[in-house]
Amino acid sequence: MLQKEKTFFDKLTGLLGSLKLSFILLILLGILLIQRAIIAQKLIDLEKEPWFVKALHNVGVDSPKALEIPFFIVLGFFALNLVFSSFRMVKKIKAKKEGLKKFRTHDEIKALLNNDEFACPEGAESLLMKFFLSKGFQIRKEDSNKSTRLYAGRRTAGHWGAFFFHMTFFIILIGALLSVMTRQAGYVEISPGDHFIEKRENYLRVTDKPVISVTPAQFSMQLNEIKLSYWRPGEVRQRKSVVSVFDSEGTLLGKRQIAVNKPMKIAGMTVYQGARQGYIADLEAEDSAGTAITGKARFRIPNRPGQKMMSSVHLPGTTLDLTFELFTEKLKAVEGLEPLGAMHMATLMKVTSREGGHSVFQGVIFQGDKLSFEGITMRFLDLRPYTSFVVVRDSGVPVIFTAFVFMLGGLIMTFFWIPEHYWAVIEKGEDGDIVAVGAFTAKYKESFKERFAAEVTELKRKLFK
């Protein structure tokens, strides 16, 4: 009965710790993580849904939490798989190391791929041990009446390289879990002179509150300058921003430059340069009763000549959906977009409303001017450039980077710290000693064979001098 239970337990642990299950779970975990990342990115930094987001929407998984239960189930099985596979690997490594440290007989040494046998004067044992010690080997010895058996090994810790490499996945799992539970991201657009205080309510879009909320030391930043240049229309050369950074008490910490490949790290958060730049138009609408509301229309700088700068705005309290088209001579000031500037001679907006499913042209409005239609007076107050930023807090990132350090250590041990094992039997005779020497290594066997032959030649020279 006990034997059957042990067999069942061994089969269960073998299945839970198998490499095949690891690959299956990794693929499933990757798919689920991609779904969460894509949807979270869509909520923060995508204007239009690409085809893969639409596909997720069509199958009803258009929320990061839509597959939360399957995600944590797969995550739990993957954690079990890592624990059992690591346990099996440790047992296998220990068993292999113990097996290699065992003494070998004369016939077992002769069966090795690398071996040699020769006669030598008495005293071969002490000379052989000195030789191995000089090469950095650790030695074990066993004596009998007529023979001495030796084991010599170096870099035996190299067997743990695979374990370190395997532990990488366990650390990545912890990092991924931390990332899922602590990650939060916010999207904001700022014009030169604007002062942004890092708070959830100050973002244009922000992810849901994480499971584990970390209250950071609050910071703020003021945009001083936008540096945007193009090779030619449609090909961005560089996006940069110069900001003044302040701590939670408003003390200036200095000026920083944020670029696409040069984010700013502050107060435990990372500020990335966004991909959107353009103009913000400040608008005011007043009805016949004198009730005024203010709003903003955002226009992205076009990527190619002839592309329109459009923005749609719904007036609160009305049934009006307005579409604005911006024309501005300011495009001439953007390096690489000068041809676009020649097409637009004044800063004005074309105003169109939608009624009954049809677009109705209402007129044009210049900056600083007003336009009246359908009982509403629209004023075009100001036009300012803007740039975008994505602010991210993710406690899992440092852990994942730590995992790559473990991976690098495992790779170094696996490829450059190769264990070598030597065995020797010294049989004592009346006319001298008979020495049989053999060696084994798991990798780079051809080069090791040449090195073994050279070391045996050196050993013979020392024994016979």
Position 84 scores a pLDDT of: 81
What pLDDT digit, counting tens, does each position of 25-83 carry? 878 877 777 776 666 656 565 555 666 666 766 766 666 667 778 888 888 888 888 77
pLDDT band at 127 (very low <50, low <70, confident <90, very high): confident
For range 184-201, the mean pLDDT: 90
pLDDT averaged over every residue in the chain: 80
pLDDT of residue 188: 92
Residue 289: its pLDDT value, please?
83
Residue that wins the pLDDT comparison between 304 and 444: 444
What percentage of residues in the chain have a pLDDT greater than 70?
83
In the chain, pLDDT over 90 holds for what percent of residues? 10
Q: Of 86-95, 152-161, 320-329, which one has max mean pLDDT?
A: 320-329
pTM exceeds cut of 0.75: no
- Kindly state the average pLDDT of the residues 257-265: 90
- Residue 275: predicted pLDDT: 82
Beta strands across the sheet bearing 432-440 = 114-120, 432-440, 420-429, 147-154, 138-143
Specify the range with the lowest mean pLDDT, choosing from 188-197, 312-321, 436-445, 452-461.
Answer: 312-321
Could you report the per-residue pLDDT of 263-284, keeping only the tens digit for each? Answer: 999 888 899 998 888 888 999 9
Task: Provide mean pLDDT across the span 108-119.
Answer: 88
pLDDT over threshold 60, residue 351:
yes
Neighbours of 431 (CB within 10 A): 8
Confidence check: pLDDT of 348 > 90: no
pLDDT given for residue 344 in this prediction: 46
Examine the pLDDT at 229 and tell me if it is beyond 80. Answer: no
- pLDDT, one tens digit per residue, over 415-433 is 888 888 999 998 887 777 8
Mean pLDDT, rounded, for 318-326: 82
Residue 2 has pLDDT above 60, yes or no: no
Is the pLDDT reported for residue 221 higher than 90?
yes
Please tell me which residue, 453 or 237, carries the higher pLDDT value: 453
Asked whether residue 120 carries a pLDDT value surpassing 70, the answer given is: yes
101 Cβ partners below 8 Å, 6+ apart?
140, 151, 153
Banded pLDDT at 235 (limits 50, 70, 90): low
- Higher-scoring residue by pLDDT: 50, 182: 182
Give residue-wise pLDDT tens across range 375-407.
889 899 888 889 999 998 888 878 888 888 888
Mean pLDDT of 179-189: 85
The arithmetic mean of pLDDT across residues 99-124, rounded, is: 85
Looking at the predicted structure, is the pLDDT value of residue 90 above 90? no
**So what's the pLDDT on residue 38?**
67
